[in-house]
A = this chain, B = another copy of it.
Amino acid sequence: MSENELNAEHKIIEAAAAVFVEKGYEGARMQQIADKAGINKALLHYYYRSKDLLFEKAFLTVASSIFSKFFDAFNTEGSIFEKIENFLTLHQDLLFKHRKYPVFFFNEITRKPELIKKLISRLDVSEKFEKLSQQFEQEKRDGIIRSDIEVPHLMVNIVSLSVFPYIGRPIIQEIMSEFDVSYEKFLDERRSMIAQFVINSIKA
């Protein structure tokens, strides 16, 4: 549908991203990507030379898009608490749609850490991170959040609490099912639970 159909190059990236996220780099097959893109295997090599290059292009495209959205959530008006809630809502919506993405992402950057440098430079992460960090520090000085909070830990805490349940989905789901608790409901509850948990822990 839409303009995606316009050129093969773009169709390939879309198909590649889907297959790589599903199967991981090692498990993905060029044949499957070609099938999904509705083209021939040889064309993949014509456009992207090798599996490795195709992967890198697809990885960076998807990762950039997702990370941009995260940073955008913090570039809104309002207090730091509202920003955290914005972030959590967006985060959970995205993860809900792309459940396999977190495991894929962390597996691949562990396999090939150079990907991170490329991603970071492409996105100006350092600059955005710095800005974000300064917002937190300002809220500390303004007495809105507790002064003993260490900003890097706070950031990692927020991300940990929201991302981990998706990474650990199979085990959490299985254990919960033995106690007749719905995993879907559990995830949904976390949206407000995490915001509350974090805000309580940092409010001055």
Chain A residues at the B interface, C-beta cutoff of 8 Å = 24, 26-27, 100, 103, 106-107, 109-111, 113, 116-117, 120, 125-126, 129-130, 150, 152-153, 156-157, 159-161, 163-165, 167-172, 174-176, 178-179, 181, 186, 189-190, 193, 197, 200-201
Contacts and interface: CB of A to CB of B under 8 A. Distances in A.
A117 B170 CA distance: 9
B110 A170 contact: yes
A170 B109 contact: yes
A193 B117 CA distance: 28
Give the interface centre of A165, A167, A172, A193 by most chain B CB atoms within 10 Å: A167
16 contacts: A24-B24, A24-B111, A106-B106, A107-B107, A109-B171, A110-B169, A110-B170, A116-B170, A126-B175, A126-B178, A129-B175, A129-B179, A130-B179, A160-B164, A164-B167, A197-B201
A157 B24 CA distance: 27
Given A120-B174, A164-B160, A200-B201, A190 B110 contact: no
B152 A181 contact: yes
Contact of A100 (B110, B169, B172, B197): B110
